[in-house]
Structure 1
Amino acid sequence: MTKRNTIQRQLVIAAVRFLADHPTAEEVYDRITMEYPDISKGTVYRNLNSLVESGLLGKVSVPSGADRFDHILTRHYHIKCTHCGMFMNVEDMDYIEGLDEKVGEVTGFKMEDHDIVFNGVCPECQKLEAKEKN
């Protein structure tokens, strides 16, 4: 059974692309309701999940945080600022192929998937910290 390409699906995809910094479901909903205030939160959430299941969007699970959605479907790494919450792609870094298999060999797990999110302090927050110390 194929999913219909409804206006709601198109709005969700457009919002994730517009909010290119890996928006949460709530941020996608907020963006869409700026122009379409009658759309329900449930509709946005269902469409996000459906688009992830069909492979049209990616989902990044963030420990101790809300899931993030991504329009870039090639494998890549992410980084999150532990101070301000900024979330972004790690650019110019090759993805390590075969990592799932290696982890499976070492642990005995049957691997299904993985998300790698690095945590650190972004340059802007580092500047603010330095100013506060002076």
Structure 2
Amino acid sequence: MVRRNTIQRSLVLEAVNQLHCHATADEVYEEIIKEHPTISKATVYRNLNLLSEMGEIRRLQIPGSADRFDHISRNHCHVKCEVCGRVFDVDMDFVTGLENGIKDTHGFDFTGYDIIFHGVCPECKKQQDSVQE
């Protein structure tokens, strides 16, 4: 199926690339309406989904949080700050074939996985340290 590249899709991709922060759909929408106030939230959401299906961006599904969209579409790991909730890239080699170590697949055909570490980001750690002093 050939999909034509629309202006709206280009705006969404450009916003994700500019934000560089694993943005939520709402954050992408807020960025776009600064210069294009007539675009609808539904259009932004639809194009985020389409761009992630096309492999142009990566959807990051984090339990207990809104989905986030990453401008880096290749497989890589992330860390989520337990204090502020922001998500960052982790600089390490991606572990391929991890699913091959699963003993009981429960009948699943695995299509991929995301590794998300948890911790406290430097900014939040600095704030915590200053409160303790």
- TM-score when scaled to structure 2? 0.93
Distance in 2 between residues matched to 1:107 and 1:17, nearest whole Å = 39
Match of 1:31 in 2: 31
RMSD: 1.1
What does residue range 1-134 of structure 1 map to in structure 2 within 5 Å?
1-91=1-91, 93-103=92-102, 106-108=103-105, 109-134=108-133
CA contact (8 A) 1:83 1:125 kept: yes
Distance in 1 between residues matched to 2:118 and 2:80, nearest whole Å = 5
In terms of mean alpha carbon deviation, does 115-124 or 37-46 score higher?
115-124
What is the aligned residue count? 131
Distance in 1 between residues matched to 2:54 and 2:19, nearest whole Å = 20
Which residues of structure 1 form unaligned runs of 5+? Answer: none
Aligned residue type for 2:101: K
Q: Deviations over 1:36-55 (max 9, x none)?
A: 00000000000111111111
Q: Deviations over 1:54-106 (max 9, x none)?
A: 11111010110000111212110001111112211002x11111112223xx2
CA contact (8 A) 1:61 1:68 kept: yes
CA contact (8 A) 1:22 1:88 kept: yes
Alpha-carbon deviation of 1:3? 1.0
Distance in 1 between residues matched to 2:45 and 2:118, nearest whole Å = 26
Alpha-carbon deviation of 1:127? 1.5
CA contact (8 A) 1:101 1:111 kept: no
Q: Secondary structure at the match of 1:115?
A: coil
Please identify runs of 4+ aligned residues in structure 1 that moved more than 4 A: none
Aligned residue type for 2:128: E
- TM-score when scaled to structure 1? 0.92
Distance in 2 between residues matched to 1:98 and 1:123, nearest whole Å = 31
